[in-house]
Amino acid sequence: MEKKEFKSESKRLLDLMINSIYTNKDIFLRELISNASDALDKLYYRSLTDKKVKVKKEQLEINIALDKDKRLITISDTGCGMTKEELEENLGTIAKSGSLAFKENMTKKEKIDIIGQFGVGFYSAFMVSDKIKVTTKSIDSPDSYTWESEGVDGYTIKKAKKEDVGTEIVLTIKQDTEEEEYSKYLDEYEIKSLVKKYSDYISFPIKMEVTHHELVDEKKNKYEDKKEIETLNSMIPIWKKNKKDVTDEDYNNFYMDKFNDYDKPLKVISSAVEGMCSYKALLFIPSHAPYDFYTQDYEKGLSLYTNGVMIMEKCADLLPDYFSFVKGVVDSEDLSLNISREILQESHNLKLIAKNIESKIRKELETMLKDDRESYISFFKTFGMQLKYGVYNNYGQDKDKLKDLIMFYSAKEEKLITLSEYVKDMKKDQDVIYYAAGSSIEKIKDLPQVEQVKDKDYDILYLTDYVDSFAVTAISEYEGKKFVNVESGDLDLESDEEKEEVKKANEGNSDLLKEMADEIKEVSEVRFSNKLKSHPVCLTSKGDISIEMQKVFDAMPNDMGIKAQTILEINEKHPISEKLKKLYKDDKEEFKKYTKILYSEAKMIAGLPIDDPTEISRLICEVISK
């Protein structure tokens, strides 16, 4: 029979699995049980929506059998099974959701991280087995098939003779080595405790034949081995259990198993609501962003159950976009079991639940910010972008809900602070919130415009994410204090005398300034200013579009030509001012060159690209070689 090759990426993952980069090999069992449980869920759900499929809940179960002598562990389920195509597709390839970018020389930790992102899944069985045999019959096909593999070499698929719908997985357990005792997986007691530890909440019975060493004759002290089928799990979904009976570890294990994460969650939120629409929710905030979180592939949503039966794996309507990072389960008796997706969307109860969940998450985050700042900062660094996006998305309709959850870097405190903290610490004579935007803290620090505000001892919020300027613009004011970009033209920080002085300089040189503006074309104005301390020039903006926002628009694939209205400001006290005045009188050609060079400098400082670097470089050389 022809042996098929694994897809190349699967091969590399397999290789890592076989060479066991995971220290916790135990998890293979929870992965296989979890797959079995999903298959049972699928079949049961089918039976509710498809009259042709008849299933009794009692038939749905998972079985584990051990054969010490042959070193076999068999995990079977009466779930939906797989067709030949599905077998090929599901077990012949992994990473359907993206490509596994394994790089050379990656550390073990990095590899684990990457694999963790995809969920270790079925292949984890190769950590403990030399050979895997999967025999399956799909609810959608009369035929059954066996898939078999001994690892990286490939796999075979052949016809089988399985009577009942479902899947049976037989693992041939590896021989013990010096480092690892694989034989423990053939031990009843070990398997029992692993099921209890990782899979207790699974809502279908996980059965195994266990041997009881029973005292049959007390006088003779005679024992006999009795075999008995036992259900190993309590079957109570973790979210239905009494909170006091569930440990943090239970929650963490459930989360890691159900949502394929290699790390425990940052925060567990459990909530039970009784009333018009009753439900239980168990929500998690991950401690790191899923690998695809910032891509289009990422699907938000919570798993929706009614009476312990899953009706939708990812119900997007339960989460607003700004909380799309939340994972979890919602179980409500007040939703109809065989409700279609379209009807569900319209369901009043679902909307009610979604609203409650949104406010629950928000309150939990507010509490975290208040009581556990360290965790909140860690959360905010990971998902804060999503909240800031939520502030300005949908025309800012949610900004009031979110404005107290967002943070910005404070120039004074040199750490993230909230808007309320900024306003609380404002100087007596300060009546606006200053911010400056740029691609990094370091770059913003060096902006010429920052100097003047700092001199007044006012704090400045440094905005480094591209969404920040938009968020701040959407909020527009906090507790009556307007946001003001230090880059904007009129900061109004000068004394009356200083203003008068600058006014004179501008009026006295209006021809010169106009000629500069005409020469540059892109700017709406050129003017002398005394806001600059050491720098000769800077670029400021006026109106709604800041220079930072323009950069975002410029980077969009469909450039809509949205530009900031910019002003070139020249430091009146800098020697360059005198030079310009002199050239304007004596040498117009040279004056034009200086104008172009100064404008390019201002653009460079603002982080804007220079349209014609070769031309500018030529001009600079001409000027300096004089």
Residue ranges binding ligand ADP (CB under 6 A):
31, 35-36, 39, 77, 79-82, 90, 94, 119, 121-122, 167, 260
Question: To the nearest whole angstrom, how small is the minimum distance from the Cβ of residue 106 to ligand ADP?
Answer: 21
CA dihedral 224, 195, 179, 264 (to 10 degrees): -160
- Contact status, residue 245 vs residue 252, Cβ threshold 8 Å: no
Backbone angles phi, psi at 376, to 5 degrees: -65, -40
Q: What minimum distance in Å lies between the beta carbon of 241 and ligand ADP?
A: 24
Dist. CA 194–CA 198, nearest whole Å:
6
Nearest-angstrom CA–CA distance, 527 and 521: 14
d(CA 274, CA 20): 47
**In the bound complex, what is the minimum distance in angstroms from residue 535's beta carbon to ligand ADP?**
56
Residues 588, 581: contact at Cβ < 8 Å? no
What SS3 state is found at 251? helix
Cβ closest to ligand ADP, residue 34 vs residue 571: 34
Whose Cβ is closer to ligand ADP: residue 258's or residue 399's?
258
- By beta-carbon proximity to ligand ADP, the closer residue of 35 and 546 is 35
403: nearest Cα among 381, 380, 386, 419: 419
Rounded to a whole number of angstroms, the minimum distance from the CB of residue 341 to ligand ADP is 20
Comparing CB distances to ligand ADP, the nearer of 40 and 417 is 40
* Nearer Cβ to ligand ADP (20/378): 20
Q: 131 or 360: whose CB is closer to ligand ADP? A: 131
Beta carbon nearer to ligand ADP, 131 or 579: 131
**DSSP for 469-488?**
HHHHHHH-EETTEEEEETTB
The nearest distance, CB 96 to ligand ADP, in angstroms, is 8
Question: Which residue has the closest beta carbon to ligand ADP?
Answer: 121
SS3 23: coil
CB closer to ligand ADP, 43 vs 484: 43
Tell me 4's DSSP state. Answer: B
Give the other-Cβ count within 10 Å of 217's Cβ. 9
Residue 175 CB, nearest approach to ligand ADP (Å): 25
Contact partners, residue 216, CB within 8 Å, separation at least 6: 222, 223, 224
CB of 166 to ligand ADP, least distance (A): 7
Please report how close the Cβ of residue 144 comes to ligand ADP at its closest, in angstroms. Answer: 12
Burial of 225 from C-beta contacts in 10 A (0-12 / 13-18 / 19+): exposed
